[in-house]
Amino acid sequence: MAFGVSPTPELSPARRYCLGMTNAHSEAATYLAGLNETTRSLAVVAHEAFASEGCSSYVKTIYIGYDIDGEMVAALYGHADHVEVALALPEDAAGDLLVDASHLTWRTLPVAAIIRSGDDIVDATSLIAFACRRVRDREHAVERDNDFFIRSRRERRGEV
């Protein structure tokens, strides 16, 4: 039972309350409950970090989106063996967890943190706080255009 998260797929109302997943985050709680035990434990910690920073959350089929005052901060994707979190960080942000996120086609989320372990989630919470601060302070000015994604897709295919 990593990070104190129950391995059962359903989160009880009491557990949702303890995780700060009251009505404001109930869709996120449902998404998180559907993840496998390992991924769920990592994703719950990331979700708690966003909630503690004052982010609103919403769910679109394959991800949880996080925003502050309507400005996108992040998108969390649960995978079989890791959590991927696209973040509102500078395009040139570098770090052990960070990868280019152009495959996710977010105009304002240029990099993603790949979280595979408890050690990773500790580092990721710092990145989450930094992304939230950038959006809250209106310092995040990344806005990729369509041409960027066309070039990126061609590069991934080896067409360039």
Q: What is the pLDDT of residues 19-73, one digit of tens each?
A: 544 455 688 999 999 999 989 999 999 999 999 999 999 999 899 999 999 888 9
From the list 96, 95, 78, 76, the residue with the least C-alpha distance to 87 is 76
Q: What is residue 156's predicted lDDT score, i.e. its pLDDT?
A: 57
Q: Note the Cα 96 to chain centre separation in Å.
A: 16
Domain that holds residue 67: 2-157
Q: How many domains does the chain have?
A: 1
Q: Which carries the bigger pLDDT value, residue 83 or residue 142?
A: 83
The pLDDT-based confidence of 2 (bands split at 50, 70, 90) is very low
Question: DSSP assignment, residue 70?
Answer: T
Say if CB 72 and CB 109 are below 8 A apart.
yes
